[in-house]
Chain A
Amino acid sequence: MNLSYLSKKLSHSIITLFIVITINFFLFRVIPGDPFAMIAKAGTLSAEYKEELSTLYGFNGSLPIQYVKYLRQLFTFDFGLSFKYRKPVLEILGNRLMATLLLAFFAQLFAIILGTVIGTLSAAFRGKKIDVAALGFALFIYAIPAFWLGIVLLSFFSVKLGILPLNGMVVAGLSHPTTWAYIKDVVHHLVLPVFSMGLAICGGYAIIMRGSLLDVLTEDYITTARAKGLKRKDIVIKHALPNAMLPMVTIIAINLGFMVSGAIQTETVFSWPGIGRLVYEALMARDYPVLQGAFLIISLTVIIANFIADIFYGYLDPRIKYE
């Protein structure tokens, strides 16, 4: 791997991050809705109280001064105080982020595996019944809204059969005697949301996999392999698939970047304590610091995911090395 390639990609990522940080700052000072007015409706807010809160949140001073302060705080990982909770934003984001990562990671994994299998089967048996069924299924799943799928699964598995839980990440209030018991509880609660979100995503993967593999299967070297008498299974899995994976890696990288923000529908249906729900609530409450922090983290995830994808390309596709 070329060092100059690596450092060039890294510097691009850092510049992107800086631009995102700046836009992030200004964006939230443009939204209508003064957070103090939200509190005023609930009780009392004298001018002195507003002054004190303004100082607390760093609203004093002109916009450029606030911006410099914001940058300085970022370097010490000080994301400020949440308006709603009056606690450090990082603390509030922390737990919720882990929950979403857990959900999104396994959902993506499930979706990638399922999507690849369906897409491969479809392409390998193109035109046959399997293809029609698989493609039909993929398109159907692709079109369904994630929350609807979630509600349907809930009605069947939770309500009708009663074997999976209705809500949450763990049984509420339960004190788990061992870590293993805690893990089991979380996995138990993870099944439906992962299945629901994974299904909702896999449609796209299946269709792209199919298209990409079909493309590769028309290449000359595949015809050569068939002429050599290799088994169909070996041709598809050992020769065609690795090359067909490239577009998939692109899509996976893009989706991985958005997986933090994309879980909100699933989180709402399953009451999963993730960052998507937190962001929505923060938006309603005009909790700028939390929104800023969350958006920064989401942007960071996208940038990192793309960076990793770029590195991956370097390995997967030898043609890219000397850029």
Chain B
Amino acid sequence: MKKLCLFLALMLLVALPMTAYNSEKLVLRIGIIQEPDTTSPFIATLAAFNVIDVRVYDNLIEYDDNLHPVGGLAEDWSVSEDGLVWTFNLREGIKWSDGEDFNADDVVWTYTALIEGEYPQSVQLTGITKCEKVDEYTVKLYTEAPKADMESIRVDIVPEHIYSNKSLEDLHTFAEDSPVGTGPFKLVEWKQGQFLKFEANENYFKGAPHIDEIVYVIFANADTLMLALKNGEIDAVTSIASNQVEMLEQNPNIEVVKALGRNFQELGFNCWDSPESKGNPLVLDPKIRLACDYAIDKEQIVEIALTGLGTPGTSLIPPSVGDWHWDPSDEKHNYDPEKAKQILEEAGYIDTDGDSIREDSEGNKLDFRFAVISSYGEAYVKASLIIQKNLQDIGINTNITTMDGGAQSDLIYSQNFDTDMYIWGWSAELDPSLKLSVVLTEQIGKRSDCFWSNEDYDELYKIQVSQVDREERLETVHEMQRIVYEEAPYIILYYPDAVEAYRTDKFEGWTRVPEGIGNSISQVNKSTFLSIRPK
């Protein structure tokens, strides 16, 4: 008994003193919940991979704080008269984190591997046929047709001297523990489930960072993440739950940043016009979908599902992406249930038997199945309930089934699209091509989750891919969004805000990209991480 007490007392003595972090170094600590899946740009598919690649790697061209393309590893570039050959002049004097020189061999190796093989970043190089070394610091890229989004390519350049002996097949599994990169930080330790630790690269070509280390601390739940921010154990968080915003705003040492998000969430429909589809054929009628757009109260959804942290949705390309976004203005489908009912009546959907559900001329009811993912948080479920009520008011009945993301994926892709409507979301890139492609006929079964097909839209897509003249391309891209808005394979519900928070007492130099309205931490460039310094 005595021995037990002694043992316990000893344990207590060992347990209680707090271990202090080595206070000589300047360490920026950021709390996250999602950790990356791998260190290799040839394998990574999770968005969380940007924790690593924005710190460790560089691209040929980057974005400045106003989202304009500026030189990264490339100093400048030019394109030939016919638009088919791009020449990039690379910066000299850049070193890899292991001391080797950066030069054209690295760019050629990276681009060639992505073109010849098939990896997550390969899609950005669609249309590029070859990457050729001209001399030590010059490369040429050859394209089949003029490539409008060439300056938006964000491909991580990897070191040829590390990768040269890897076959295309090896790249599917090869991942360095501490990847060699040209970037401002080097990943020195990654304890899965616990943290990622980066050390500053003194020789970074755009200037050494003003801090010594960054530690991304992985939390398993949002509550302790907030508590850690509040008591100063971490300096920043990349996303906040909506119910935490008010509490954090009241703290004098914490700054909450509400940026225009680059995501959207949509109500998608089963637009698969095929005998294989297990969807309700009534959903194929664009009039019904259009009526739904008028019937849904998107302002209310933003209030309730997002606690106001978002903007009601309209077109496919979010407003935060800049002028690519098409504003319907006077063609806007405002919340107008009466108009919705009118559209349905005129299309021949009338409630003949008084059960508040409309039927078509053959007696088929507007009774649809609605798949809702409940594992992404509450917003989807709350939105779905409001939608259900809105549709009920115009005579459309919906049956909600909740499930997780994997099950919904399975329903659509592996079970012949065995549902009629669903809610899902996308995050948008700064160039509109990729997002515009998700409703192409050729993407049915791949990127497309609504399986919609419209020949005019497909044609316009092919045109805009090669429209190097920005004014012309804007027109085409806007027209494409108009078509999607009218045919409504997707009803864009809202663009959620990207809400971050950071402490203001230890560090200063937090920037916003784009200036004034954008993110401070999850940025498209390295802005904050190069300017952040101790107070």
Contacts and interface: CB of A to CB of B under 8 A. Distances in A.
Interface of A: 32-35, 37-46, 48-49, 52-53, 56, 81, 84-87, 92, 95-96, 99, 113, 151, 154, 158-159, 162-175, 181, 184-185, 187-188, 190-191, 267-274, 277-278, 284-286
Interface string B384-421: 00000000000000000000111101111111000000
B227 interface: yes
B78 interface: no
Given A43-B120, A86-B175, A184-B19, A96 B413 contact: no
A173 B215 contact: yes
Given A44-B447, A49-B118, A185-B19, A172 B29 contact: yes
A173 B219 contact: no
A163 B449 contact: no
A81 B173 contact: yes
B45 A42 contact: yes
Interface in B1-55: 4, 11, 14-19, 21-22, 27, 29, 37-38, 40, 43, 45-47
B421 to A, nearest CB: 17
Given A44-B120, A86-B172, A154 B224 contact: yes
Contact of A171 (B21, B45, B414): B21
Contact of B449 (A41, A187, A190): A41
B451 to A, nearest CB: 13
B194 A163 contact: no
Contact of A159 (B175, B193, B231): B231
B195 A168 contact: yes
Nearest to B169: A52
Nearest to A151: B223
B227 A158 contact: yes
Contact of B220 (A164, A187, A271): A271
A99 B191 CA distance: 12
A173 B193 contact: no
B467 interface: no
Interface string B436-451: 0000000000110100
A38 B120 CA distance: 13
B438 to A, nearest CB: 10
Contacts of A267: 220
A174 B220 contact: no
Nearest to A269: B221
Identify the 8 closest CB pairs spanning chains A and B, nearest first. Answer: A33-B406, A273-B193, A173-B215, A172-B195, A37-B409, A271-B220, A172-B217, A49-B118
Given A45-B446, A172-B217, A87 B175 contact: yes
A187 B8 CA distance: 13
27 contacts: A32-B406, A32-B407, A32-B415, A33-B410, A34-B413, A37-B413, A41-B449, A42-B120, A43-B120, A44-B447, A46-B446, A86-B40, A151-B223, A159-B227, A167-B219, A167-B228, A168-B195, A172-B194, A172-B215, A173-B27, A173-B215, A174-B19, A175-B22, A267-B220, A270-B224, A277-B220, A284-B405
Nearest to B34: A281
A268 B21 contact: no
Interface string B191-235: 111110100000000000000010101111101100110010100
A173 B221 contact: no
A42 B426 CA distance: 9
B280 interface: no
Q: Looking at chain B, what size class is its interface with the partner chain?
A: 35 or more
Nearest to A33: B406
B175 A286 contact: no
Contacts of A52: 118, 169, 172
B323 interface: no
B129 interface: no
B375 interface: yes
B122 interface: yes
Interface in B227-247: 227-228, 231, 233
B162 interface: no
B123 interface: yes
Nearest to B445: A40
A273 B21 contact: no
Contacts of A87: 38, 175
A226 to B, nearest CB: 23
Contacts of A35: 406
Nearest to B443: A44
A49 B120 CA distance: 10
A37 B410 contact: yes
B414 A37 contact: yes
A43 B224 CA distance: 32
B338 interface: no
Nearest to B194: A273
Contact of A44 (B18, B122, B218): B122
A166 B193 contact: no
- Of the listed residues B19, B446, B447, the one surrounded by the most CB atoms of chain A closer than 10 A to its CB is B19
A268 B123 contact: no
Contact of A273 (B192, B197, B446): B192
A269 B221 CA distance: 7
- Of the listed residues B37, B175, B197, B449, the one surrounded by the most CB atoms of chain A closer than 10 A to its CB is B37
A277 B219 contact: no
Given A168-B195, A273-B194, A284 B220 contact: no
A40 B413 contact: yes
Contacts of A268: 220-221
Contacts of B43: 86
B15 A188 contact: yes
B273 interface: no
Contacts of B47: 42
Contact of B46 (A42, A162, A168, A174): A42
A154 B414 CA distance: 44
A277 B219 CA distance: 11
A273 B193 CA distance: 5
Contacts of B505: none
Contacts of B118: 44, 46, 48-49, 52
- Of the listed residues B217, B220, B233, the one surrounded by the most CB atoms of chain A closer than 10 A to its CB is B220
B101 interface: no
A167 B224 contact: yes
B404 A284 contact: yes
Contacts of A174: 19, 21-22
A188 to B, nearest CB: 5
Contacts of A172: 29, 194-195, 197, 215, 217-218
B459 interface: no
B494 to A, nearest CB: 19
A43 B175 contact: no
A299 to B, nearest CB: 22
A42 B175 CA distance: 20
A181 to B, nearest CB: 7
A171 B228 CA distance: 12
A50 to B, nearest CB: 9
A43 B123 contact: yes
A159 B228 CA distance: 9
Contacts of B407: 32-33
A38 B406 contact: yes
B217 A168 contact: yes
Contacts of A42: 45-47, 120
A56 B172 CA distance: 8
B194 A169 contact: yes
